[in-house]
């Protein structure tokens, strides 16, 4: 992943609702004090730092050496270059992947790898958007639909989020649950995120004018799936605290 995306990633992490959504993923992990947890696709490591502050033992993994170097420059934690299909960890009690599976050609294989590295009773949390579900106010709804669909078509697996539940069930996880948290953004600060959807200058100009006049509107459902790897006896649940 190019480091040129870091400003966009930083912006997305700071938009209204984003910190609260990350906090919800930490709640769903339900980790004991000091529990090892892997954050897959950690980027520059914000979630790793937040998990450490909560008392977990986080490991950040990203396929991009540049992202890992950026994370190491920001935070004093354990960051490793690694592939979601072949993780450099084992026997962790938590697995978290935030906006990652849609970037993979084979999300189900990544979920199988999550099952492998999780200890019995460990928890998995997946979070991300379905790339066909951006809701954007525009004077040209037909063109906006095309912008959204064209951007979705450029993603490796744009509809991964709607399959989270099945990926987890198919790979033997239990206690599978799915939540939807809809982000609503009207602040001009979101313009770079909207602009990243297309190179269409006319469409971008309309969105910029909406931002200038206080008429910007973007809604984005974020899907959060959680589950437990069953213990040796096939009974789900995290180890006793």
The answer on pLDDT for 239 being more than 70 is: no
The answer on pLDDT for 98 being more than 70 is: yes
Q: Where are the domains of the chain?
A: 3-129+158-181+222-228
pLDDT of 3: 65
Beta bridge partners of 57: 36
The answer on pLDDT for 64 being more than 90 is: yes
CA dihedral for 81, 87, 90, 93, sign (positive or negative): positive
Assign 12 a pLDDT band (cuts: 50, 70, 90). Answer: confident
3 state SS of 124: strand
DSSP 204: H
- The average confidence (pLDDT) of the chain is 94
pLDDT digits (tens, 9 = 90+) for 137-151: 999 999 999 999 999
pLDDT of 234: 47
The answer on pLDDT for 238 being more than 80 is: no
pLDDT of 227: 98
CA atoms of 236 and 124, how far apart (whole Å): 12
Phi, psi of 67 (to 5 degrees): -65, -40
CA atoms of 94 and 121, how far apart (whole Å): 9
Assign 5 a pLDDT band (cuts: 50, 70, 90). Answer: confident
Assign 115 a pLDDT band (cuts: 50, 70, 90). Answer: very high
The answer on pLDDT for 214 being more than 80 is: yes
- Assign a CATH topology to domain 3-129+158-181+222-228: Rossmann fold (3.40.50)
Instruction: Copy the structure tokens of residue 41.
Output: 């696709």
What is the mean predicted confidence (pLDDT) over 79-83?
Answer: 97
**Looking at per-residue confidence, does 55 or 11 come out higher?**
55
What is the mean predicted confidence (pLDDT) over 151-167?
Answer: 98
CA atoms of 211 and 113, how far apart (whole Å): 43
Whether residue 84 contacts residue 160, with contact meaning beta carbons closer than 8 Å, is answered with no
């Amino acid at each position: 992943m190019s480091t040129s995306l870091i400003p966009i990633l930083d912006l997305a992490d700071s938009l209204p609702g984003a910190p609260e959504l990350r906090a919800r993923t930490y709640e769903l992990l339900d980790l004991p004090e000091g529990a090892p947890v892997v954050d897959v696709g950690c980027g520059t490591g914000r979630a790793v730092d937040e998990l450490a502050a909560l008392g977990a033992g986080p490991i950040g993994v990203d396929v991009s050496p540049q992202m890992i170097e950026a994370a190491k420059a920001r935070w004093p934690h354990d960051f490793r270059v690694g592939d979601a299909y072949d993780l450099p960890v084992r026997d962790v009690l938590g697995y978290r992947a935030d906006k990652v599976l849609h970037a993979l050609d084979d999300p189900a294989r990544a979920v199988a790898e999550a099952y492998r590295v999780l200890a019995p009773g460990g928890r998995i949390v997946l979070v991300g958007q379905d790339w066909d579900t951006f809701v954007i106010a525009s004077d040209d709804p037909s063109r906006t639909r095309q912008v959204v669909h064209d951007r979705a078509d450029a993603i490796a697996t744009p509809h991964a989020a709607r399959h989270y539940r099945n990926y987890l069930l198919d790979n033997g996880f239990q206690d599978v649950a799915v939540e939807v948290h809809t982000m609503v953004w009207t602040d001009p600060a979101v313009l770079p995120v909207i602009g990243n959807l297309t190179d269409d200058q006319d469409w971008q100009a309309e969105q910029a004018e909406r931002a200038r006049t206080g008429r910007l509107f973007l809604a984005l459902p974020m899907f959060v799936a959680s589950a437990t790897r069953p213990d040796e006896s096939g009974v789900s649940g995290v180890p006793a605290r």
